[in-house]
Chains A and B, each alone.
Chain A
């Protein structure tokens, strides 16, 4: 069974600083990987996804993530954080040819200092 670990429960960065949110997954085959963002009182919005091909994927709102098979990681990055990026971020993994089930990590809450 697949699993996802987001080691950082809370992260605080200053506005304009760079951001990296960590995600490690456990899955025996090639995974599908996703990052979702949840703003307060909102549902989850897809930021980006990785299926195959280029290991660096671009998403919405200036986010990108890099799939590193050797490290079983899919870390989310943004060069310059905006105050509106304050939210909770969830990494998720899905399995090829096993239906469309996603397993989510516990989330990382991002706070942005002015």
Chain B
């Protein structure tokens, strides 16, 4: 597509429920990234994919967080048993490759509110 597309744009969920956030990267981009932006905070790196592989999952905040990417395209970030501290904007981004210096393009984010 023309840009990185994320859905839903806004999600309100009850504490304890599971949520799935979807990211559709720019067509042809092999690298995909997930960041979290909490209120008044900077960007916290969560995970990246090279193709369908996520070499390093250590940035995920807890084992309630998981992510997958299929077909080298769409990625889903899943948060199980959501907690109030999970409320944040989840930003997805992509780049042509994972080689350093490739411009990273961001989506508009999925705003998650846990009540």
Residues of A within 8 A of B (CB): 32, 36, 41-46, 49, 51, 90, 94-107
Give chain B's interface residue range (CB within 8 Å of chain A): 20 to 34
Alpha-carbon separation in the docked complex, A97 to B107 (Å): 25
Q: Are B42 and A43 interface neighbours, CB within 8 A? A: no
Q: Are A44 and B100 interface neighbours, CB within 8 A? A: no
Q: Are A44 and B106 interface neighbours, CB within 8 A? A: yes
* Interfacial chain A residues near B105, Cβ < 8 Å: 46
Q: Are A94 and B43 interface neighbours, CB within 8 A? A: no
Residues of B within 8 A of A (CB): 4, 31, 35, 41-43, 45, 48, 91, 93, 95, 97-109
Alpha-carbon separation in the docked complex, A103 to B33 (Å): 12
Q: Knowing that A90-B43, A99-B48, A104-B35 are A-B contacts, what are 14 other residue pairs whose CB atoms are under 8 Å apart, sorted by A's residue number? A: A41-B108, A43-B93, A44-B91, A45-B106, A49-B101, A51-B101, A96-B100, A97-B100, A100-B31, A100-B98, A100-B102, A101-B48, A104-B43, A107-B42
